[in-house]
Chain A
Amino acid sequence: MVTRRELLLGTAGGWLLERVWAGEGAGSAAADTLTALAGKKPLIRRALRPPNFETPLADLAAPFTRNDAFFVRYHLAVIPHVDAAAWRLQVAGASAQHPLSLSLEELRSGFEQVSVVAVNQCAGNRRGLFTPRVPGVQWGNGAMGNARWRGVRLRDVLNRAGMAPEALEVVFDGADSPVLPGTPDYLKSLPVERALDENTLIAFEMNDQPLPHWNGAPARLIVPGWVGSYWVKHLTAIRIEPQAFDGFWMKAAYRVPTGAFPGRRFASQENAETTPVTELMVNSLITSHVSGARLRRGERVELGGKAWDSGAGIEAVEVSADGGQSWRDATLQRDLGRFAWREFRFDLDTSRPGPLNVAVRARSRSGAKQPDKLTPNPSGYHDNIVQTVSLEVA
């Protein structure tokens, strides 16, 4: 953090206050630029249009990621400010026997309200750390966050719409749209089983506040345990369909080689070569320290961070300070729910001077462990390898 200048930027959508710091990049060698979108604090800017902004590491240390620090991810650049009072959610499709059109008030008062604490993580989180490098938004560690989401169960809404037994997939559309007509609109589908899961919500609150504009106001989909690409923002239409949805963002994007990763299969979208990215992999992140940090000899130093998986919950987090030869359990902090991240802490031994390479690995209650090696895939998904920070005791 060396230099700083402030600029006022006007955009088609409003005013941005830009603050630029020259600093070390989390993912790349180049300096990261911090820019504040309206209503957000300065976040790491990966792209201005469409807005792709990453949460700085320091803001991932809190149990709940603040709304104004939560990452922002869009594919398409036409993003209307949705008027919540005029907003309606259409629920229809070939397998909906009683199509619905709901206002926000009808959604709030017509269905039981529930909440879930869950990690929202972009499928491409850490893509910028992949070796060899792959194209796409070059995220570091911060295309993720943890929040309490409040809304209604998608299942209750689907049942009210008279979901027919032959329904296979549920398709979701949001208010954002492409600049040119040749670009496929951003629509995603879920298999019916996941759509009917009691934890899949249509949320209108995030951390007890109305959803921020940049995180999908007035209502978005919450699919705990599944990657962020399914968490469609600014929801406008839901279609219940008896056949597999064949939009670009299902058939050609967000896919990995079939069989390369564990996790729930999305059978109606799978083929011999590729299959959709679905569940999060067990993973962890050190939030207290970054490589290069110097510790004073004899000082009490607590390592801290987060561990999460797709919903089994975290069983243990282990720390090695000797390059992976021996591992000791970190202390797990408060359990916020099985879809939330779990904070861990560990006292580092600073009694000897010299380099201190600290590695952290999490284990899920399902038995899944973080691997040592990346599983290569063309779009750079699922980087959950064990991370090491190189510290120095002096």
Chain B
Amino acid sequence: MRGARRRAAALLTAPALAGASALLWAAAGAEAIQLKDAPGRDLTTGRCIICHSLEYIPSNAPAMNRAGWQKSIQKMKDRFGAPITDEEAKQILDYLDGSYSGKS
């Protein structure tokens, strides 16, 4: 079902939305998760917190390597409509691979 809140959300530009969404949840104190500190963290947080909580990242680390994250970011963009530019995707990939690639 398509809700009013969604239509309102769609009016915001992507970066503004990322900020607004992160703020909403951060302000509510509900995002208990903070990603590891490394270059690219803020960009990754801003983009990856829009549709779901950040827990999806550390919890999936044991299943991920660079190729896995590459596929995952591509899926978020192509299948789920994540507003992430190619340049941002590269930075996010470097960050996720560096901090959350746990697949042995």
A337 close to B (CB within 8 Å): no
Docked Cα-Cα span, A232 to B51, in Å, equals: 20
Q: Which of A12, A30, A173 contacts B24 (CB 8 A)?
A: A12
How far does the alpha carbon of A234 sit from the alpha carbon of B55 in the complex, in Å?
A: 25
Return A78 CB to nearest CB of chain B, in Å.
5
Contact partners of A50 in chain B: CB under 8 A:
52
**Measured between alpha carbons, how far is A94 from B89 in the docked complex, in Å?**
42
Q: Which residues of B contact A328 (CB under 8 A)?
A: none
Residues of A within 8 A of B5 (CB): 78
A-B contacts, 18 listed (Cβ < 8 Å): A48-B30, A48-B32, A48-B53, A50-B52, A77-B51, A78-B3, A132-B103, A133-B103, A135-B60, A135-B72, A178-B80, A180-B82, A181-B6, A182-B82, A184-B79, A184-B80, A236-B1, A252-B79
Check B56 against A11 for contact (C-beta < 8 Å): no
B15 to A: closest C-beta gap in Å = 13
- A173 and B63 in contact, given A135-B72, A180-B10 (Cβ under 8 angstroms): no
**Chain A at the B interface: mostly helix, strand, loop or mixed?**
loop
Inside 8 A of A185's CB, which chain B residues have their CB?
Answer: 1-2
Which 10 pairs from chain A and chain B are nearest by CB? Answer: A182-B81, A133-B63, A49-B53, A183-B80, A48-B53, A179-B51, A135-B63, A133-B62, A175-B1, A10-B28
Query: Could you tell me the distance in whole angstroms from the C-beta of B93 to the nearest C-beta in chain A?
Result: 15
Query: Provided the pairs A78-B6, A181-B6 are in contact, do residues A10 and B29 lie with their beta carbons within 8 angstroms?
Result: yes
Size category, A interface: 35 or more
Write the residues of chain B forming the contact surface with A, with a CB cutoff of 8 angstroms: 1-3, 5-6, 9-10, 17, 21, 24-25, 28-32, 50-53, 55-56, 58-60, 62-64, 68, 72, 79-83, 103
Q: Which of A7, A9, A179 is the one whose CB lies under 8 Å from B50?
A: A179
Seed contacts A11-B28, A135-B64; 6 additional CB < 8 Å A-B pairs? A10-B28, A18-B32, A134-B63, A174-B1, A179-B51, A180-B80
A residues near B30, Cβ cutoff 8 Å:
9-11, 16, 48-49
Which chain B residues border A48 with CB–CB below 8 Å?
Answer: 30-32, 53, 55
- Cβ-based interface call for A46 (8 A): yes
Distance in angstroms between the alpha carbons of A176 and B51 in the assembled complex: 13
* B50:A180 contact, CB within 8 angstroms: yes
Give chain A's interface residues, CB within 8 Å of chain B: 7, 9-12, 16, 18, 28, 30, 33, 45-50, 76-78, 80, 132-138, 173-185, 234, 236-237, 248, 252
Residue of B whose beta carbon sits closest to that of A75: B52
CA distance A317 to B28 in the complex (A): 48
Across-interface contacts of B9 in A (CB, < 8 A): 179-180
The CA-CA distance from A62 to B32 in the complex, in Å, is 32
B3 pairs with A80, CB closer than 8 A: yes
* Given A9-B28, A47-B56, A248-B79: A183 touches B1 (CB 8 Å cut-off): no
- Cβ contact of A180, chosen from B28, B31, B55, B81, cutoff 8 A: B81
Q: Which residues of A contact B52 (CB under 8 A)?
A: 47, 49-50, 77
For A33, the chain B residues whose CB sits under 8 A away are 32
Residue of A nearest to B31 (CB): A48
Q: How far is the CB of B41 from chain A (nearest CB, A)?
A: 19
Q: Which of A133, A134, A136, A234 has the most CB of B within 10 A?
A: A133
A18 CA to B29 CA in the complex, in Å? 11
A138 contact set on B, CB distance < 8 A: 59-60, 62-63
Kindly list chain A residues whose C-beta atoms are within 8 Å of the C-beta of B68. 135
Whether the pair A12, B28 counts as a contact (CB closer than 8 A) is yes
| Chain A residues positioned under 8 Å from B80 (CB to CB) | 178, 180, 182-184
What's the nearest-Cβ distance from chain A to residue B33, in Å?
8
A28: which B residues are within 8 A, CB to CB?
A: 59, 62
In the complex, chain A residues whose CB is within 8 Å of the CB of B24: 12
A178 and B32 form a contact (CB under 8 A): no
CB of B59 within 8 A of CB of A47, answer yes
B51 → chain A closest CB, angstroms: 5
Across-interface contacts of A16 in B (CB, < 8 A)? 30
Cβ contacts under 8 Å, A137 to chain B? 56, 59
Bound: A89/B80 CA distance, A: 27
Provide the bound-state CA to CA distance between A47 and B60, in Å.
11
Chain A hits for B62, CB < 8 A:
28, 133, 138
Residues of B within 8 A of A134 (CB): 63
Roughly how many angstroms separate A45 CA and B62 CA in the complex, as a whole number?
17
Roughly how many angstroms separate A132 CA and B25 CA in the complex, as a whole number? 33
Smallest beta-carbon distance B12→chain A, Å? 10
